[in-house]
Amino acid sequence: MEEDRNLLDYIYVLVKWRRMIGLSVLFVVLATAGISLFLPEKWTANTMLLPHEEDAGNLEMSMLMSAAVPGNIGGLLGQSTPGERLVTIIKSRRVLGAMVDRFGLVADYGAANRDLAMETLAELVETELGSGGTLKVQAEASSAKLAADLANGLAAELDVVMHQQKRGLAMGDRVFLEGRLDSVQRAIEVKAMQLQHLQEQYGIVDLKAQTEAIVGVAQHIVQELTLQEVKLGVARGALHPDHEKHRLLEMEVGELRHQLDQIVGEYEYRAGAEAKAAFAALGPPLKELPELGLQFARYSLELKLAEHTLTLLVAQLEGAKLRQAKQVPAVQVLDLATPPEYRSAPRRTLIVFVAALLSLLISVVLAFIGESLSKLSSQHQGKLKSIGELMGPRT
């Protein structure tokens, strides 16, 4: 019964103070609605962007790196995604300044100068990276048309900046590649001259074929020399040293040894002109073949590497020229911003509803406080009066 009595008391208080509660709520609602009419309207427009796929020539190193690391670990290595680069450019002073100048935002924002207008614009522009590398750009302005124009203007200016940046990078690559190409061409000329000089000095045409030929000749001479030395040994035991056949065998053995020495390279510079011409056709002497082979292989390898580098540089240079000349949009606009039908702020209905709810709660609390004060006993009223006198000003 005590609970029912208390509930009836609460209802009694609300009914008794209903006029005060109703008038308070009505006054707050009307005041809030009137004030909300003077709040500046804000409109928000959105556009959806997608970075254009980069050329394969620009992504060779990034592809090699991304193939070696899984997932998004590349971000931990300092690599940024195309969407993140777009966000950075949108927030740059160049893009914001262009928007401030194009749409006269200094006057629209009531800013003291251009820098303050850019700071205000940066706060009113929001970006959101979506799945698939998309970028959502949201612009807030004082009118629906200005919000849409501002969002589309940001996308257009972003494309201009990205395109100029790519052209600048392509021009830098082109200048570097042209300089590198010139140095590689000079290196090829030097390597070719070194190889030609080595071939002319030692009569090298085909080192492998000449080596096989001179080894075959040396093998034949060694076999013939061995046979003649055996015959000479037999003749020494059977014939007189002055015998014609004995002397003929000695001459043949000596000549074979002399030819073998020439092939090996022992007496090359003491040989006659005819012998030099004959052995020059075979190539360099055997004792010089290891060193010459190594030197010839090194020159040939350096020349081939330089030629291969030249081929790659020519291809890269053509790619840089193509990137510099082509007019491909750097940013694709997936959803063009349109003037919104409804404003984003102020939300007057919500403001009035919250104000009415708060005023109702405060009025109910004040009603119960007033009811409690009216029921104070004379003793309590005397204490309350004394408290008021104590807290009052002293004369």
pLDDT of 81 > 70? The answer is yes
Residues in the chain: 395
What pLDDT does residue 296 have?
Answer: 65
pTM of the model: 0.53
Average pLDDT over residues 248-264: 68
Class of CATH domain 43-178+326-335? alpha beta
What pLDDT does residue 59 have?
Answer: 41
What pLDDT does residue 268 have?
Answer: 47
What pLDDT does residue 256 have?
Answer: 66
Average pLDDT over residues 221-230: 69
Q: What is the b/e burial string over 84-94, where b = at least 16 CB atoms within 10 angstroms of the residue's CB?
A: bebbebbebee
What pLDDT does residue 280 have?
Answer: 53
pLDDT of 103 > 60? The answer is yes
What pLDDT does residue 69 have?
Answer: 43
Backbone φ and ψ of 267, nearest 5°: -125, 35
Q: Place 71 in a pLDDT band, splitting at 50, 70 and 90.
A: very low
For the ranges 156-160, 212-216, 324-328, the lowest mean pLDDT is seen at 212-216
What pLDDT does residue 221 have?
Answer: 65
Please answer whether residues 137 and 46 qualify as being in contact, where contact means their C-beta atoms are separated by less than 8 angstroms: yes
Distance between CA 16 and CA 258 in Å, rounded? Answer: 142
Q: What is the b/e burial string over 57-78, where b = at least 16 CB atoms within 10 angstroms of the residue's CB?
A: ebeeeeeeebeeeeeeebeeee
What pLDDT does residue 67 have?
Answer: 41
Domain boundaries, the chain: 2-39+346-370, 43-178+326-335, 197-311
